[in-house]
Chain A
Amino acid sequence: MSSGDLTIGGHSPGVITEPPFSIPTKKLAMWLFIIADTMTFAACLVAYGFLRNGTANWPRPFHSINNVAIMTFILLTSSLTMLIGLRSARAGDKSAAFRWIMITALLGIAFGFLHIREWVGLIGEGMTMFKNPWGTGLFGASFFSITGLHLTHVTGGVIALLVVGLRYKGGRYNADDIEILGLYWHFVDLVWMFVVPLVYLLNLAH
């Protein structure tokens, strides 16, 4: 059989080219998802800015930066542990890669725990989606929406870390899959860099 006889789905071999931008298809798909998700978060943050600028009695309920500073440190550190896990996977050190991925997942869980604890504290002070004791009720809606969307991403990331980590250990996934998951995890970290100043630091009570 000559190469000219080989067809896939009725197309001639000339149709099949290398992946766009010469990167693996799964990685490209993750990048496209990240770009789309960037728009989601950007839309939320721009809408938040719209509300904040257009509302006179916008509350400034945060008295301490300790919790958000610790959360930021944890998330940034989890990006580093993810990178170490990827490098270990690339070097073929399977046990080290698995260990670092699990450490990353644990850091993600710690972040989520601190986030929930903060939410519970604010709810305890009387803040809900529709009202709070300090000013416009829009604050609660935007705060819980934006941080909730981010926390959903972190939770999804932790689940993905556990699943991919275990499957990598079992030999079903390879270092490329860890790299793709790492892209997502770093993106979650990246979004937090914008959430912190806009949602927390600009609403500090002075």
Chain B
Amino acid sequence: MTAKVEQHNPGMGKDLIVYVCLLVLAGLQFVIAYQNIVASRMFWRMLTVACVEAGLAVLFFMHLWSEKRIFLWFVGIFTISVLLGMQYGWTDSFRMLVGAAPFSK
């Protein structure tokens, strides 16, 4: 019976470990939310945890780790480039905060 289950679920243990890790990381985000720290620090901590979660999900749940390395690099570099490009939005919002934008006054 055990052998049958093993045959039907090869590598299930790894999936369970990743699942538990994701649960723990999600829980960590909730813990961070109740920390008595400034919002910007809270944001960076949560974003870091979310990125680790996303990395685990993409690599192991979506099996990107099992694909060809060239495809992994393609997805990684392409996605990160676009996301970094969007930081123009963030910087502009900070510019507004300090009152440098004409429409912020």
Residue A115 at the B interface, CB < 8 A?
Answer: no
A42 within 8 A of B: yes
| Contact, CB under 8 Å: B67 / A46 | no
B8 at the interface (CB under 8 A from A): yes
The reply on A76 being an interface residue by CB < 8 A is yes
Size category of the B interface is 35 or more
Verify if B65 is at the interface (C-beta below 8 Å from A).
no
* Distance to closest chain A CB from B29 (angstroms): 5
In the bound complex, what is the Cα–Cα distance between A194 and B43 (angstroms)?
Answer: 11
- Beta-carbon contacts under 8 Å, B88-105 to A: 89-90, 92-94, 96-97, 104
CA distance A2 to B43 in the complex (A): 65
A-side contacts of B67, CB under 8 Å: 21, 23
Q: Are B33 and A201 in contact (CB under 8 A)?
A: yes
By a CB distance below 8 angstroms, the chain B residues around A49 are 89-90, 93
Which B residues lie within 8 Å of A80 (CB)?
A: 15-16, 19
A interface SS class: helix
For residue B71, which residues in chain A have a CB less than 8 angstroms away from its CB?
A: 21-23, 31
B39 within 8 Å of A (CB atoms):
yes
Interface size for chain A: under 10, 10 to 19, 20 to 34, or 35 or more residues?
35 or more
Chain A residues, Cβ within 8 Å of B10: 87, 91
Which residues of chain B from 7 to 59 have any CB-CB distance to chain A below 8 Å in the complex? 7-12, 15-16, 19, 22-23, 26, 29-30, 32-34, 39, 42-43, 46-47, 49-50, 53-54, 57-58
Taking the nearest CB of chain B, how far is it from the CB of A27, in angstroms? Answer: 9
- Which of chain B's residues has its CB closest to A88's CB? B8
Q: Are B47 and A197 in contact (CB under 8 A)?
A: yes
Bound together, the chains give a CA A206 to CA B16 distance in angstroms of: 34
How far is it, in angstroms, between the C-alpha of A22 and the C-alpha of B70 when the chains are bound? 10
Q: Are A204 and B33 touching (Cβ within 8 A)? A: yes
**Listed residue (A46, A87, A198) with the most chain B CB atoms within 10 angstroms of its CB:** A46
Give the CA-CA distance A125 to B44 in the complex, in Å. 30
Are the CB atoms of B39 and A186 closer together than 8 Å?
A: no
**A20: nearest chain-B partner, CB-CB:** B71
| Nearest CB in chain B to that of A87: its residue | B9
A142 within 8 Å of B (CB atoms): no
Q: 20 A–B contact pairs at CB < 8 A?
A: A21-B71, A23-B67, A38-B79, A46-B89, A50-B90, A53-B97, A73-B23, A79-B61, A84-B12, A84-B15, A87-B12, A91-B10, A186-B57, A187-B62, A190-B57, A193-B50, A193-B53, A198-B43, A198-B47, A201-B30
List of 6 A-B pairs having minimum Cβ-Cβ separation, nearest first: A197-B46, A201-B33, A21-B71, A53-B93, A50-B93, A91-B8
